[in-house]
Amino acid sequence: MISTVQLKISMLKASLFLYVILFMLLPQAHGQSKSNTWSEVKENGDGTLVIAYSENSPFIYNDAQGKLAGIEFEIMEEFVQFIDEKYGVKLNLEYEHLYNFENLLDTLKHSQRPILGIASISSLEERKKDFKISDPYMPDIEIIISSWGFGSVSSLAEFADMVKNNRAITVTNSTFERNILELQNDYFPEIEIEYARHVDFLIEKISNTDNAWGYVSLPNYLSHYKKGKGISRQRFFMVENPGLSIATTLTSDWDIVLDAFIMDSRFKPLLDLLIEKHLGKAFGEVVASISNINADLQPDIAANREVGVLILEKELQDLKLRQSELEIERKNIFIYLAIIAIVFVLIALFFLYRLVRLKINTNKSLSEKNEQIQTQILELNALNIEKNEMIGIVAHDLKNPLTSALSVSELLRSEEITVNQREYLSYIKKSLNKMNSLVAKILEIKVLESSSFKTNYSNVDLRQVTEQVISALKIQSDNKEIRIVADLDEVVASLDRSLIVQIIDNLLSNAIKFSNHNTKVHVTLKDENQSIRFEIDDEGPGIMEEDKPKLFQKFQKLNARPTDGESSTGLGLSIVKKYVEAMKGKVWCESEFGKGAKFIVEFKK
């Protein structure tokens, strides 16, 4: 019984172990991109290579736009070009971001995919049993940095005090951790160690605290120093590793072509350009001079390293100074442009102010002039009213004596008088008729301009009214042998009968007055779709252009004259215009000088 239970327990343990193994393997397989071997890419002519990375400025990082950048990133981009040009195959790179540096090393150690790993990986012998490492492409010098408040300590005693009393920050499984552990084992067992995900976080932590220190590579330090991070460099216990490399998995064959690329003649110039771009112009030369590779030429390597790093710091300080000067210059240019813009704005505001003041003064002047004009208009209106009243009084007072004088002249004509006396009486009567006609016209104008004037609408037979006016003026037309040709439609409209009679009478009598003997006057009445239209067309002298604007004004004497010495008061057409407009109609003249005149009256239905 006991053996059966133990057997079940053993089987359960085995199952649990299997599940744990599967659980560990599944996350690695899930979501991972396929990475081809170099042999597959070369055979197929194209393929994909996965590159695993962990942030490590200036080697690979995300720039301000969130895009990958850095020395190793650009090396890999150039690697693609190298593959294409040398072997004629197309290589596509896919980057896989890993959470921390430890994950990157574990991935390179355990992954069965032929991938590359980049993050300034030190070329250590003990790592070569876990994954393949390319030939070193750059010296690997590591230094101690500390929080800004420490400054650069000047003695080992001060340095010992710093490392013992402040926490060390490092990255798991990195050469930085190895260096700190060696200090702890050999010199300072009191060191307290804290871990960061990767070197960029390590530097960020040291920069943001006042009691931390740690190892970083020289390029790490210079990259963040260039950005103005609050960190100090310590000159003690500088370490050099065999060099920085690019790693690949043990099952990968990419190390062959990778080493070929690093040994290619184009690689060194490319690396120099990238180093100058990210770390400064002097970095390559200075690091080469202070590296252990040249230790046999440098008897005091530590002193030379210090001098070399100082040179690099000085170059970066000069660069930052130049950048500051350029920024100041840029700001000065901006200030100058702003000053110029402000000056232009002030000038514009000054002219705008002048324009506003000018407008205000002009408006004030115009307002004063308008007030003067309004005053003058009121005075003129008052004078015009007074004039009209006086004319009305005079005309009214003249009407009765004129009527009496006409009656007397008629009585005298019935008496026995001589031929000469009869001729004189005829002249007197003619003059009295002219005066009486003028007085009547003046009184008509006075009524039209008064507030008491009103129209009396009724249904008017316009054809009948027109025929009656033509008949009434027959004697006047016959005396000049003028034939009136009428073309009249049957039209009945709601108008003021007395005003229509006056309108037709004035226009037709004018046509007869200004027509020569033995001519025609055409009188037309048309019932159109939307309107009623009168036309009176003569064969007289016509209207000159200069007379047309004053044609319907009062007391206007025109160039054209009656053809048989008839009288003209200069009021008839002004009366016609007022009568027509009183009935909401319109009147106008169409004439070409020397070819007669046509007067048109139109009423809307």
Q: What is the CATH number of the domain that holds 149?
A: 3.40.190.290
CA atoms within 13 A on the CB side of 40: 13
- 390 has a pLDDT exceeding 80: no
Please state, in angstroms and as integers, the Cα–Cα distance from residue 483 to each residue in 477, 508, 509, 594, 596, following that order: 7, 12, 13, 19, 15
pLDDT at 598: 95
- Under 8 Å CB-to-CB from 143, ≥6 apart: which residues? 215, 216, 217, 218, 221, 233, 234, 238, 239, 309
Q: What is the DSSP string of 61-124?
A: EE-TTS-EESHHHHHHHHHHHHHHHHH--EEEEEEEE-SSHHHHHHHHHH--S--EEEEEEE--
Structural domain contains residue 335: no
**pLDDT by residue (tens digit) across 329-377?**
888 888 888 889 898 898 999 888 888 888 888 888 888 888 888 888 8
- The pLDDT confidence band at residue 572, using thresholds 50, 70 and 90, is confident
pLDDT at 227 over 80: yes
Percent of the chain with pLDDT over 90: 47
Residue 422 lies in a domain: no
Q: Tell me if 407 is assigned to some domain.
A: no
Its domain, for residue 486, covers: 454-604
- Residue 250 lies inside a defined structural domain of this protein: yes
Q: Per-residue pLDDT tens for 119-133? A: 999 999 999 999 999
Considering its fold, how many domains does the chain have in total?
2
Of the given ranges (89-93, 301-305, 316-320), which has the lowest mean pLDDT? 301-305
Residue 380 inside a domain? The answer is no
Residue 170, pLDDT score? 97
Higher pLDDT among residues 378 and 302, named by residue: 378
What pLDDT band is residue 108 in, cutting at 50, 70 and 90? very high
Taking the C-alpha atoms of residue 276 and residue 62, their distance in angstroms, rounded to an integer, is: 19
Q: Point out the domain boundary residue: 249, 276, 298.
A: 298
- Mean pLDDT value across the chain: 82
Q: How far is Cα 162 from Cα 487, in angstroms, rounded to an integer?
A: 127
- The predicted model gives 402-425 an average pLDDT of 65
Residues 6+ apart with CB under 8 A from 103: 54
What's the average model confidence in pLDDT over 397-414?
62
Output the pLDDT for position 605.
83
Q: Is the pLDDT of residue 25 over 50?
A: no
581 contact partners, CB below 8 Å, separation of at least 6: 587
* Domain endpoint, select from 260, 279, 298: 298
Residue 471: Cβ-neighbour burial (10 angstroms; 0-12, 13-18, 19+): exposed
| pLDDT tens digits, one per residue of 182-214 | 999 999 999 999 999 999 999 999 999 989 999
What are the b/e assignments for 274-290, b being 16+ CB within 10 Å? bbeebbbebbbebbebb
| CA 186 – CA 160 distance, rounded (Å) | 12
Identity (one letter) of the amino acid at 229?
K
**Residue 574 clears pLDDT 80, i.e. is over it:** yes
The upper half-sphere exposure of residue 604, i.e. CA atoms within 13 Å in the direction of its Cβ, equals 5
**C-alpha–C-alpha distance, residues 127 and 154, integer Å:** 35
pLDDT band for position 517 (50/70/90)? very high
Of 277, 298, 319, the position where a domain reaches its end is 298
Span 152-164, pLDDT tens digits: 888 889 999 999 8
Q: What is the mean pLDDT of residues 11-28?
A: 43
In the chain, % of residues over pLDDT 70? 76
Q: Return all residues near 118 (Cβ < 8 A) that are at least 6 apart.
A: 51, 52, 53, 59, 60, 72, 73, 76, 246, 247
Residue 43: pLDDT band with limits 50, 70, 90: very high
233 CB neighbour count, 10 Å cutoff:
20
Write the CATH number for 534: 3.30.565.10
Peptide bond into 58 cis (omega under 30): yes
> In this predicted model, which residue has the larger pLDDT, 297 or 508?
508
What's phi and psi for 510, nearest 5 deg? -65, -40
Residue 53 in any domain: the answer is: yes
Pairing relationship of beta strands 231-248 and 193-196 according to DSSP bridges: unpaired
Mean pLDDT value of segment 496-506: 91
Does residue 482 belong to any structural domain of this protein?
yes
Tell me which of 175-189, 216-230, 277-291, 419-433 is least confident. Answer: 419-433
Q: Is residue 405 part of a domain?
A: no
